[in-house]
A and B are shown apart, each in its own frame.
Chain A
Amino acid sequence: MSTKHSKAAARFIANRKQEAWHDETLWMVRAKRDKMSHSIPEWERLRELASDIKLYSNSHLDTLLEEFEKNALANGAIVHWAKNAAEHNAIVQEILRQHDAHTLIKSKSMLTEECGMNEFLQEQGYDIIESDLGERILQWMHLHPSHIVMPAIHIKRQEVGEMMERVLGTEKGNSDPTYLTHAVRKNMREKFLTADVAMTGANFAVASTGEIVVCTNEGNADMGTSFPKVHIATFGMEKIVPSREALGVFTRLLARSGTGQPVTSYTSHYCKPKEGGEFHIIIVDNGRSDILARPDHIRMLNCIRCGECMNTCPVYRRTGGYSYTYFIPGPVGINLGMLKDPVKYSDNVSACSLCLSCSNVCPVKIDLGEQIYRWRQDLDRIGKASTEKKIMSGGMKFLMERPKLFNTALRFAPLVNKMPRFMIYNGLNAWGKGRELPTFAKQSFNDMWKNNKIK
């Protein structure tokens, strides 16, 4: 039984050149992160602090969210609470309706992706414009992000160029990134100036001040919110930080971890509505409060969506974001998917070599790999364990518990060396896929020991 991940991965790997590029490029980002983190002597202390602050804030969400709301209201914002994706989308639609708005310009938000908001609003006839370059490219190509920070990392410049020839009328055959980026800049300028309502996610929401913080390199969130009268900011409730002092820990970690920069170009603090405008803030649960009840997985709420666990993951780098069945790929996505619906997303838990590199680099110290291991132990219980691996494991257990039989079996093992390939590499041997078995030794260690061949 191949998982959906391994089947999709096989398609990604089929393009060897692209796979190698993807692998090397993400590793380059990881290396930049290392350089950045090594330049800060207190790096490990920062990670510890970030983890401890998150454990505090996520175990005090009730009081911190109320504090945030009180301060946001005092700032003049309008605060909404959404239990789930449907409520979230309905709130946004109602705001658009109140303002007779048709065009919504938005910056990148994994939360709106999680809520399926764009599709929902588009079906209602609204024009949704993604303003992050990568997201805009994906929107034009009718694709979803394959990485949470570098959403179009799987697309080659030639493909972008060809698409833009059709959409924007750029020069034929010109796939220079600067040329293409500036073509989008020109096109987007007009969109920024004419959109009816602006929407952003939030990287952080500060309880003590009621402000939300958005980090971008492009400045697209800030351009988007500069012209319409109405700004909607939406955030998953684990984005809360207690104070600006605590925020300092996270703004030092986020970009260094995610892209290997000391900080994003823009770290924007939105506090009050503009004169004569409205500032709506949506606080979203959508399953987050359920995670609180799972002590083994509670640290998933630490996540600041930096994407570093993807950059470092040997499986993600070599199989691409689309190989995973949850909309967030990589180590964080494997875990979030299992928390969302373990039966539906269990295919992803095998997309992990348990190397624990993700756990070692995570800026908020989530035990990502360890949690994946724990999910695997649960597979049988939810009826998702691989049948052939179960049979093989059962056989191994049977042998291991019977030393005589085991030693006899071992004596016959070298016969495998001479067996025809079809008998070894077939559908029954999951471990034979994409791997070559080592040659069995002519004599077992036990026999060598007994015959005094080992001193």
Chain B
Amino acid sequence: MSSKNDILSAIRSHTGKRYNMPDLTLDAIVYEDKIAQFSDALQAAGGKAVLLQPGEDVNDIIRQHFPDAARIASNLPDITCATFNPDDLADPRELNNTDLAIVEGHFGVAENGAVWITRQVKHKALYFISNSLVMLIDREAIVNNMHEAYKRTEGMTYDFGAFISGPSKTADIEQALVFGAHGPVGVLVILK
């Protein structure tokens, strides 16, 4: 407690002019075709977005994109191509060597291709440990920019949430871009 008090009293005695909080309203960028912009931004980030066509089954789309995936995790009832329910595992470490995880996101962000997820599975590891990640969102659920995005998170409670924009990547060796630094090598967003 004493360190806290010391720090706070140092702050109080050193703080000079107190500035006002600015008005945060601004004309942020909006897009005519949010789906097209979202797809472009995601592609630039190394991911891919596909629009589910009428009559198409989401499981077929997943299978087409990941024909070699053997160990497929999902707790979503509609995902019949899943080979196991990750929530049945007691320890997140058992998720290692998962080829593909299929999860639901809340919404997408057009300006940067990110999808907002909150932990909807038992182990948060699922979003990061599988070789590829499929995120399903409603095609109507795309906001223009991060300001709209954070407005949309109001009232959501979560222990862990994340904006995920494409696959895990690094350029730490000579600025050469490499996908799959630690997390998914590929990310597919299916717009339902």
Contacts and interface: CB of A to CB of B under 8 A. Distances in A.
Interface stretch (B54-62, B63-71, B80-88, B110-118): B110-118
A417 interface: no
Given A261-B45, A263-B114, A267-B114, A252 B145 contact: yes
A127 to B, nearest CB: 18
Interface string B1-25: 0011011101111111111111010
A135 B61 CA distance: 38
Contacts of A153: 175
A305 to B, nearest CB: 16
Nearest to A290: B14
Chain B residues touching A, range: 35 or more
B92 A227 contact: yes
B175 A185 contact: no
Nearest to B163: A267
Interface stretch (A61-69, A386-394, A399-407): A61-69
B162 A268 contact: yes
Contacts of A66: 8
A265 B184 CA distance: 11
A248 B146 contact: yes
A270 B16 CA distance: 32
A223 B11 contact: no
Contact of A226 (B26, B123, B171, B172): B123
A317 B124 CA distance: 39
A252 B148 CA distance: 12
Contacts of B161: 268-269, 271
Contacts, number: 240
B14 A293 contact: yes
Contacts of A40: 29, 111
A256 B175 CA distance: 16
Contacts of A152: 172-173
A46 B24 CA distance: 9
Given A53-B21, A226-B92, A292-B15, A42 B28 contact: yes
B181 A133 contact: yes
Interface stretch (A113-121, A173-181, A332-340, A351-359): A173-181
Interface string A20-61: 000001001100000000001110011001001101100111
Contacts of A184: 181
A70 to B, nearest CB: 12
Interface in A306-347: none
A65 B8 contact: yes
A414 interface: no
B154 interface: yes
Contact of B14 (A28, A155, A218, A292): A292
B45 A83 contact: no
Interface string A118-151: 0000000000000111100100000000000011
A278 interface: no
Contact of B162 (A249, A259, A267, A272): A267
Contact of A270 (B14, B93, B153, B160): B160
A244 interface: yes
Nearest to A246: B24
Most chain A Cβ neighbours within 10 Å, of B14, B44, B184: B14
B78 interface: no
Contact of A293 (B16, B145, B180): B16
A60 B171 CA distance: 37
Contacts of A249: 24, 147
A33 B172 CA distance: 18
A110 interface: no
Nearest to B113: A262
A182 B146 contact: no
Given A61-B11, A81-B4, A151 B178 contact: no
A181 B173 CA distance: 8
Contacts of A131: 182
Given A177-B173, A193-B93, A223-B182, 4 more contacts: A182-B180, A217-B181, A226-B129, A295-B17
